[in-house]
Each structure stands twice: as structure tokens, then as C-alpha cells.
Structure 1
Amino acid sequence: MNQREFEAVIRQPAAIRYEYFIKKSADYEEVWGLYNEGWATAQDDLGNTLIPFFPNEKFAETFAKKEWAGFTPKRIDLDHFLENWLPGMKSDGVKPSIFPTDIDSAVINVDTLREDLEAELEKY
């Protein structure tokens, strides 16, 4: 991915970045989180715990700042994400925050994220 594509993607609204995340995660069979002696989390306005996920290392690295300064990108295999992460997040009441930027994020229901990823994977 060149710098031009990178900048174009991060300027898109959250819904478009979510679609990009789904396509790229299925393409490369991975998602990226931020890690530093534990996974990065955030809170929404209602106090719900969110975990940020990104479609690749460069995006994750770019947004490892502010409350996530000192965190580094860490790859998560997509099968492991679908089979372990999402069920665990659902049982813990944690929501995925997909592709957060300085402006916004797509906060998605765990089941919706699973369905969208599985639907995209069926295309391959």
C-alpha cells in the first residue's frame, strides 16, 4: 500500500473503513491489535469496553498514540480471531472498535463482525 492509498483510506468515514477492514482482513487472513503487556482498550460514552482492531500493521502503528502510546501492533490470525477472540469478547461484553482514527471508529456488534468476515471469506 502506498502513502496515497493510506491517506485516502484514513480520511474515509467509519462505515467505509469498516468495509475496507472486512475485505483486507479476509484477503490477508489477519487482523491487527495494539499490545503492551496487554491489549489496548478504550471506553465508549456508555462505559463499555472496546478493543481496537486494524486491517494491517501500518494502520495500527499510526494510531498507537495518545492513550495507546507505547503500544505496538500485534498480528492476530483471522481463524484464531473468529474462533477464540470473538466468542470471548461476546461473553465478556467487550465490543470491537474497528479501524479507529483520530475522528471516529466503527463500533460493531460481535455477531455482526463475525457474519461480515465469514461472508467475505466465502468469496474466496
Structure 2
Amino acid sequence: MFQDSITLKNRHLQFIKTISKSEIVYGLRGKNGFATSNSTQYEDEDGKPIGMICFWSEKRRVKSCATDEWKNYKVTEIPLPEFIENWCIGMANDGLLIGTQFDRNLFGYETEPLVLILDLITELKSLGKNLNFRKFNGIEDLEKHVKKIVE
């Protein structure tokens, strides 16, 4: 079944809005780590698909994906500041991608972690929110740090 790229993008934009409001991100955690997949859009310099960790904004959507190879995985909540600081930045450093809002057929949106952070910052600012981070002094400091890396 072909998933329309506009549908995937819209689900991703909804992911950003939802987690910015709830300040919770969901993942599927197994005994060997979180649910992963390989990119269908991005390759490394050897032509191999880049690895990706999948995240969701709603518990019901995550549960629908806990089948087949992920059937023994448990839904795990991650606070948004921790997701941004530890997951997104760590995954960027490791050269991994983030998959958002995957469905039962494992179709979802693929994005680079630092791009996701900048998108989240834009949404959080529009909501008038500022998060408490351990390594950064608020959203402005985080934004300055990420933009320096991206440029």
C-alpha cells in the first residue's frame, strides 16, 4: 500500500503540534532498545539505508505498531525536554534519523534530528512555551546551539 507523501508530512506536522502541547513523546522499547527501522529515503556514503528510531505523539498510535517484530515492545513515555536534549542531539551525533508517526504498515515520516529540533522550537515559541533543559538555558540557547551546528 502506497502512502502519499503529503499524508506522511501532515502526520509529522501533527506530531510536532501534539508533542509541543503535551510535552510527551512516545517510543516502543524492547529488551535491546527502542523500535528502529531503516530509512527508505536516505543513504550513507556506502549506499546503505541510514538507521532510524521511531517516535509517536499518541499512545494509541504507538500501540497499533506493537506487532510483528515489535510485538514484545512496551510503550514508553519520554518527556519532551529529555527527547530534545538526549535523543535528538544524541541521534544527530550518531548519524541516525528520526521516524515519526509510523503506522501499522510501518509508513512514517523521516527527518534529521536537528531539523526536528528547529521545527519544535518554532512550534514551542508559537505556543509561548519555554522548556527546562539540563544543558541549555531555555529554548533560545538551544536554538542558538543547533543553528551553529547546522550552518
TM-score by length of 2: 0.71
Higher strand share: 2
Residue 44 (structure 1) shift:
2.3
Secondary structure in 1 aligned to 2:76? strand
Displacement of 1:33 in angstroms is 0.5
- Aligned residue pairs total 113
Residue equivalent to 1:34: 28
Instruction: Report the counterpart of residue 8 of structure 1 in structure 2.
Output: none
1:61-76 to 2 correspondences below 5 Å: 61-76=63-78
Structure 1: 4+ residue segments shifted above 4 A: none
Greater gyration radius: 2
2:8 to 14, 32, 40: 14
Q: Deviations over 1:74-115 (max 9, x none)?
A: 000000111111110001111000111116211001111001
RMSD (CA atoms)? 1.4
Identity of aligned residues (%): 27
CA distance in 2, matches of 1:36, 1:109: 23
Unaligned runs of 5+ residues in structure 1 are 1-11
Matches within 5 A, 1:47-58: 47-58=49-60
Distance in 2 separating the partners of 1:44 and 1:26: 25
Residues in 2 aligned to 1:80 and 1:18: alpha-carbon distance in whole angstroms: 19
1-structure distance, mates of 2:124, 2:39: 29
1:104 equivalent among 82, 102, 107: 107
1:47 Cα deviation (Å)? Answer: 2.4
- In structure 2, distance between residues paired with 1:119 and 1:67: 35
